């Protein structure tokens, strides 16, 4: 994530309790990058609920399990599959009983649009089910807003805002279950709309977004951007000039084989929300392996010093481009 991102702005980390059961409720604009970025900038080891479709292959399922990932089944996966959630939810109850942290994306799916969508009641089922099973358990809900400057663009610039702790116990009344569900959903939703850039999903959405993009706003300045959206006062920003763009072509020449593979694979990605996921995956696997191979070739023809200088220079050039390249809206 350090090499993939231009900058990661983290706000509110002090809101995360050091002990006790936690449920992180995160908005979901950008595929697998969302849980990776949140967990690597949180202070607690976390278990995750992700859509079951990625668990279809047995080997993949075993691998993902080692990363604390668990499948959650939705109606689109088939009515028969929903029964498997009972076991998954029981695992979640035990995770919370052990006072560990659990992460869920209550919007139910990923969507790059800059709006907080309606929350599903799945996370409330986990909370209230845990209370039913373990009445003395206390669970803190931490809403987390994640905002990208430009999804699918490299390098990635992102802001992560950890919200104010919500003691879920205060919202649970088994005698008025629907009211309890709606109450905590509204509480989490309201915070997410402040913790991430939120444009109301109405007939004006496209025009507001276009205006923000035209003005080159810094979307990672979440509070300021939300204020602008509410006021309608869009201020013009300076045009963006990428002074380190020449380094990009140098990097491509040095990474021609994995770069070509990426270009071929990228054409098969149907959803923009998965572009960063696949590119980041290649960035931590295929590209470094290729650089090591080229360094070994230099070692065979020259010496260890030449190979080492090449490898270190490659990393430095990549880092300079990542950290200094401009990120358009």
pLDDT in tens, 140-176: 999 999 999 999 889 989 999 999 999 999 999 999 9
* φ/ψ of residue 203, rounded to 5: -70, -15
The answer for residues whose C-beta is within 8 angstroms of residue 202's C-beta and 6 or more apart is none
Contact 261, 290 (CB under 8 A): no
Copy the structure tokens of residue 128: 């209230």
Looking only at the bridges linking them, the beta strands covering 69-72 and 21-26 are unpaired
Q: Is 97 helix (H, G, I), strand (E, B) or coil?
A: helix
Q: Which residues of 79-89 are buried (b: 16+ CB within 10 A; e: fewer)?
A: eeeeeebeebb
Sign of CA dihedral 13, 139, 164, 189: positive
Residue from 181, 167, 110 nearest 137 by CA: 167
Residues of the chain with CATH 3.40.1130.10: 5-195
CATH 3.70.10.10 fits 5-195, yes or no: no
pLDDT in tens, 13-71: 999 999 999 999 999 999 889 988 999 999 888 998 877 776 777 776 777 777 788 87
* φ/ψ of residue 241, rounded to 5: -125, 125
């Amino acid at each position: 994530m350090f090499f993939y991102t231009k900058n990661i702005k983290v706000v509110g980390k002090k809101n995360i309790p050091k002990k006790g059961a936690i449920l992180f409720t995160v908005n979901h604009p950008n595929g697998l990058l969302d849980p990776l970025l949140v967990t690597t900038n949180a202070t607690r080891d976390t278990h995750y609920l992700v859509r079951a479709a990625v668990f279809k292959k047995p080997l993949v399922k075993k691998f993902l399990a080692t990363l604390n990932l668990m499948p959650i089944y939705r109606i689109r996966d088939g009515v028969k599959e929903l029964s498997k959630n009972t076991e998954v939810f029981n695992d979640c109850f035990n995770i919370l009983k052990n006072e560990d942290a659990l992460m869920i994306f209550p919007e139910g799916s990923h969507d790059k649009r800059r709006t907080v969508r309606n929350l599903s009641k799945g996370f409330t089922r986990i909370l209230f089910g845990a209370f039913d099973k373990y009445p003395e358990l206390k669970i803190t809900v931490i809403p987390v807003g994640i905002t990208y400057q430009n999804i699918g663009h490299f390098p990635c610039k992102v802001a992560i805002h950890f919200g104010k702790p919500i003691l879920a116990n205060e919202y649970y009344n088994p005698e008025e279950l629907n009211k309890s569900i709606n109450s905590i959903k509204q509480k989490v939703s309201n915070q997410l709309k402040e913790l991430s850039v939120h444009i109301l999903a109405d007939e004006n959405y496209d025009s507001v977004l276009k205006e923000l993009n035209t003005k080159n706003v810094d979307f990672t300045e979440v509070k300021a951007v939300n204020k602008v959206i509410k006021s309608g006062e869009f201020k013009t920003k300076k045009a963006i000039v990428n002074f380190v763009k020449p380094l990009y072509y140098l990097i491509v020449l040095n990474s021609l084989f994995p770069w070509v593979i990426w270009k071929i694979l990228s054409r098969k990605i149907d959803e923009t929300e998965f572009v960063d996921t696949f590119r980041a995956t290649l960035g931590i696997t295929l590209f470094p392996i290729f650089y090591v191979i080229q360094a070994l070739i230099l070692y065979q023809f020259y010496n260890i010093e030449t190979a080492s200088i090449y490898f270190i220079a490659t990393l430095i050039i990549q880092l300079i481009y990542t950290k200094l390249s401009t990120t358009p809206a």
